Amino acid sequence: VFKIGDFSKLGQVSVRMLRHYDQLGLLKPGQVDRWTGYRYYTLEQLARLNRIVALNGLGLTLQQIADLLDQNDALPVDRLRGMLTMRRVALEQELQEKALQLASVEARLRQIELEGKPSPYEIVVKSLEPVAVASLRQVAPTISAVGYYCEHLYQSLYERLDEAGITPLSPEITLYHSQEYREIDLDMETAVVVEPGALRRGWPEDQFNLYELPAVETAASLIYEGPFEGLEQPVLALLGWIAECGRVPAGPLRELHLSGRAHENGQPQANPVIELQAPARMVEEGEA
Amino acid sequence: VFKIGDFSKLGQVSVRMLRHYDQLGLLKPGQVDRWTGYRYYTLEQLARLNRIVALNGLGLTLQQIADLLDQNDALPVDRLRGMLTMRRVALEQELQEKALQLASVEARLRQIELEGKPSPYEIVVKSLEPVAVASLRQVAPTISAVGYYCEHLYQSLYERLDEAGITPLSPEITLYHSQEYREIDLDMETAVVVEPGALRRGWPEDQFNLYELPAVETAASLIYEGPFEGLEQPVLALLGWIAECGRVPAGPLRELHLSGRAHENGQPQANPVIELQAPARMVEEGEA
DNA sequence: TTGCTCCTCACGTCACGTGAGGTGGC
DNA sequence: TTGCTCCTCACGTCACGTGAGGTGGC
């Protein structure tokens, strides 16, 4: 028979926890002094305590352990197997997440070592909701022509929407359909968000596209603030980040004009706030 | 300017968390309506929010992030590097722990598949404190002679301690110096705990050994209850577990007689409670 | 009498989710 | 007027550590 302190040393479990196990009903002392409240443990409890510690070391919760040890001291095999299997799945997932985090941390550190300062862009993984959009699509011959195309595409889009009696909402979303970064023949699509109801009514197809931009499970995103000419750098940062994290593009790059229309009265906004979203997915194992 | 709900969608952060960040001073809304308490956020806040989300995704605490983003919005490089380095170390450790846990869980599952029922022994990793002991050591020719040797070694040990005026405490600890399991020529040492003060006074060396059993950082331990003849099975279980976890024995196996002396009046205890402790360490990488 | 152990009660941890109960804007 | 959004306050999570304040046994 041991007092709680001795039992604590025997089992290498803190006194606090022994009291806690008592309270949870996980491990009741063999005897409790009615007057002083002192807990007295027997050697048989030690085997049970060891079970608890062992299962806990595998990462089972005390509640799960209580379920297992409950009434009879014999472990119900099937439940144990079930719990261990669940635990294995959870552990595999946690391992994967941590490994990804570690890779990100190391990427950041490398980046700091190389450039001497942290990247000005913060890249975040997010999911994208589906949105109803109206759009026009065309190929711009060179990268320097993109601004011009953008302006005029949006302009005619707005005109046609006006004729059709559809109210453009915000933001504008320019999509770049070329998967990689390129400087000529950019397949671009200028889109605006419209109310979802517009999809259900039919519209002349030759005037503009009207459809739902698909949801994206994971996209890399960053916020850029500055002139349109400076967009090249954040685009490259985003694509580089994707590659570095073992991912691969999974859809057109989206350029959201969060601070309103890119062009107003024929003038481009001087310092627009732009969100770049690059849909991406993990490379499958064994994929090139 | 966005209301909290819109901003929440933009940044993919729950409304609850935006309020929380406000409260922590991590991200104050650009404007708060004095009368209604409504929070209004601007686009500039979005960049900061993205920073927060990105750093949080690396596993930094909000407090750390607050320290980084504090006054100036420019990230102090050195502090960032420091935190990331710490984080990397922590992540590596967590990864290792999880991997070990996963290995244990899988070992348990395999064991259940093979034998159809969970092992009757719960093996726990613990550390061992140093203890002062008095002991006698001898080689038993065969495993079946161990009981006999044990009895007589303890008997003469107690006699000599009595002559020397040293009080034996408990428990008895029998040490097996052969590293592997073997059935002949067992190098065994029968020891009893004595008060630490006894070490400081000198004793005739030829009567018995008097020394401090060293501390052990990690030892595998299990509780066995049953006759001494049944000890073989738990010993093998313990050694098997050690091997399975990528560890290697690191000292003599200890057999603690927790329920009192092994022999009393020439009779062995019928169902003693015994703790087996096997010091072990992880195999170094590249070690055979 | 002095330490030592034991007792109960309760707060803090961390980044959230989820209510209750109530109020402004279309 | 009816939903919708927003507000504050507060509890719960999980396995602990760490006190405060007090009492028994040698």
Over pLDDT 90: what percentage of chain B? 76
pLDDT digits (tens, 9 = 90+) for A118-170: 888 899 999 999 999 999 999 999 999 999 999 999 999 999 999 988 889 98
pLDDT digits (tens, 9 = 90+) for B184-241: 899 999 999 998 888 877 666 778 999 999 999 999 999 999 999 999 999 999 999 9
CA–C1' span, A1 to C1, in Å?
29
Q: Which residue of B has its CA nearest to A52?
A: B122
pLDDT digits (tens, 9 = 90+) for A52-101: 999 999 999 999 999 888 766 566 888 899 999 999 999 999 999 999 99
Which region, left, alpha or beta, applies to residue B223 given φ > 0 means left and ψ of -120 to 50 means alpha? beta
Answer whether residue A206 shows pLDDT above 60: yes
Distances in Å between the alpha carbon of B105 and those of A54, A223, A248?
Answer: 11, 43, 33
Residues of B in contact with A119 (CB under 8 A): none
Q: Closest protein residue to C6 using CA and C1' atoms?
A: A38
Which pLDDT value is given to residue A58?
Answer: 95
Which pLDDT value is given to residue B288?
Answer: 56
Answer whether residue B111 shows pLDDT above 70: yes
* Total Cβ atoms within 10 A of residue B257: 23
Cis-peptide, bond into residue B234, ω within 30° of zero: no
CB contact under 8 A, A57 and B125: yes
Answer whether residue A198 shows pLDDT above 90: no
Over pLDDT 70: what percentage of chain A? 96
Is the C-beta atom of B41 closer than 7 angstroms to strand D?
A: no
CB contact under 8 A, B124 and A57: yes
Handedness of CA A78, A80, A85, A90 (dihedral sign): positive
Which pLDDT value is given to residue B73?
Answer: 58
CB contact under 8 A, A54 and B94: no
pLDDT band (50, 70, 90) for residue A117: confident
Answer whether residue A288 shows pLDDT above 60: no
How far is the alpha carbon of B230 from chain A, nearest alpha carbon, in Å?
Answer: 17
How far is the alpha carbon of A260 from chain B, nearest alpha carbon, in Å?
Answer: 11
- Average pLDDT of span B87-98: 95
B/e letters for A13-49, b = 16+ CB within 10 Å, e = fewer, are: beeebbeebbeeebbebeeeeeeeeebbbebebbbbb
Window A8-27, strand D contacts by Cβ < 7 Å = 14, 16-17, 20
Which pLDDT value is given to residue B209?
Answer: 93
Alpha-carbon distance of B87 to B58, in angstroms, equals 8
Greatest CA separation for chain B: 91
Which DSSP letter does residue A200 get?
Answer: G
Which DSSP letter does residue A282 get?
Answer: E
